[in-house]
A and B are shown apart, each in its own frame.
Chain A
């Protein structure tokens, strides 16, 4: 996979809840796993039209404590299915792990990102090096990428696909 994403910035604020803001909780109760279903409900509690507005390569940029709450992975699986990349000022432990589980390229701790981008800007993000370029304004930011062993899991497509690779190797 390519670690460089180029696309539109979709900017959100702070403290978004994973359950019902980012993804309806009923998909957790129903144990829904199909990417084609989950992708159609990303950010449903905030902007139900969101999945229709995005294209693969677009970047979801969020504020502090992104995806707080009981760490459910359905929201991240939906984002992955839409082909999005994710940058947050900060996301908690459970959300961070669920990016890895879902195989979603992410910069989980990027203080200052909200000030650097506007909704609709063209961004280029290298999830391997952490370099973020705002192509609309020319601003650049060097962030901390995820460690390489986690990117290896993301590159495989998430924790289950990574496991499959390990098993096939053994």
Chain B
């Protein structure tokens, strides 16, 4: 029986010839990634139960992205301790402030994520890594176990395949497509599944679009997501790869639990209504909804392509006087490229506030929302209280839709700005 990519990767990293859905494995991960905030806390937790050293510090990567820039004294103390602790524990791989980016994008950009790799990550939005054909496994609270033992239990997931056909209309982006797909597939069918994106429309997509496609689907409970590597993957990693790698593809007769086919040609701009990312509706249902703030950024956006698309709307226009619009390029490299292209200048002329790469606004660590506020954002989640007051509403949409709303002062069809 043929095997899917996730089966082949998990089998290889577990020293087996094949594995089957439902099996429990303790695989050897190629890389384990964590952001800077919980490192000290997790080490304290481990010391308290008698751990004296890390299992494989050489395979750990720490990325500064959550508490940057430092905005409390507590954060400053923590950052200082984290750096000291990394030295003490022998963690040498560090994406430091200034050369950083949001981990789920910068790790791909800097060549840490490669086809066929098995990567465990503290943060759930790591599904982005599937865009390069790597298998990423979020572990969250079990990360200390990974630090201490080098592994954690993984149940081999079933794989569902989602084939995308057709071509996106003007003003529609990958974010609209994935919102549509989430609505159609639903949380129960995606739960604990590896999602394999395929089909002619995925072939056409850039690595950055594939990244958003893979990353956002975690919001309906997918275990992980992947796009089989192709010539675009290889071209992207050619100058970046930090390690040797082996391309792993699905066997021709691989067994998918279920196959979906969607034509993306007729998809309209979509929006996720509060209070969950899969509470998806056509944008037309909320047109005219007044907003107080807009936010373009996070691991689910903030790429050069997303910024370009938003700048197209913002060019020669200004943000509505009642709206505060925050723009956050996802990595320092993207920030620089956007500056070189004049995109940053467009945003500033439009009256946007542009800051360097950080995850902070996405989970309400900065730029909080007051009681009764409404925001439209490209970020990952819109739970009640995620960005501030429990009584505030977050709508999630594509970068173009967010930019159009920022200009108009209310949610609007972005296509009127693109024709």
Contact = CB atoms under 8 A, between A and B. Distances in A.
B384 A20 contact: yes
B383 A93 contact: no
A39 to B, nearest CB: 17
B383 A20 contact: yes
A147 B24 CA distance: 10
Interface string A148-170: 01100000000111011011100
Given A101-B142, A149-B24, A163-B145, A19 B187 contact: no
Interface stretch (A48-56, A67-75, A133-141): A67-75
B156 interface: no
B148 A163 contact: yes
A92 interface: yes
Nearest to B222: A93
A164 B50 contact: yes
Nearest to A15: B276
A17 interface: yes
Contacts of B149: 163, 166
Nearest to A168: B50
Nearest to B22: A147
A169 B319 CA distance: 62
Given A17-B276, A164-B49, A149 B148 contact: no
A92 B189 CA distance: 11
Given A71-B124, A160-B45, A164-B50, A19 B383 contact: yes
Contact of A159 (B145, B191, B385): B145
Contacts of A29: 363-365
A10 interface: no
Given A70-B124, A70-B383, A163-B49, A97 B140 contact: yes
A98 interface: yes
A71 B381 CA distance: 12
Interface string B137-165: 01011101100110001000000000000
Interface in B375-419: 381, 383-386, 390
Nearest to A158: B141
Interface string B7-34: 0000000000000000010000000000
A92 B275 CA distance: 17
Nearest to A102: B141
B41 A31 contact: yes
A19 B145 contact: no
B40 to A, nearest CB: 10
B419 to A, nearest CB: 38
Contacts of A65: 187-188
A20 B364 CA distance: 14
A11 B45 CA distance: 34
A64 interface: yes
B356 interface: no
Given A19-B384, A159-B145, A73 B140 contact: yes
B51 interface: yes
A120 interface: no
Contact of B386 (A19, A90, A96, A168): A19
B187 A68 contact: yes
A24 B384 CA distance: 10
A159 B365 CA distance: 28
B175 interface: no
Interface string A14-43: 000101110011100101000000000000
A20 B141 contact: no
A69 B381 contact: yes
A112 interface: no
Contacts of B38: 31
B221 interface: yes
B174 to A, nearest CB: 22
A19 B144 contact: no
B192 interface: yes
Contacts of B51: 163, 167
5 contacts: A19-B383, A20-B383, A45-B384, A64-B188, A92-B191
Interface of B: 24, 38, 41, 45-46, 49-51, 124, 138, 140-142, 144-145, 148-149, 153, 187-188, 191-192, 221, 223, 275-276, 363-365, 381, 383-386, 390
Given A96-B192, A101-B141, 4 more contacts: A45-B384, A68-B187, A150-B153, A164-B49
The 5 closest A-B pairs by CB, nearest first: A164-B49, A92-B221, A101-B141, A93-B192, A20-B385
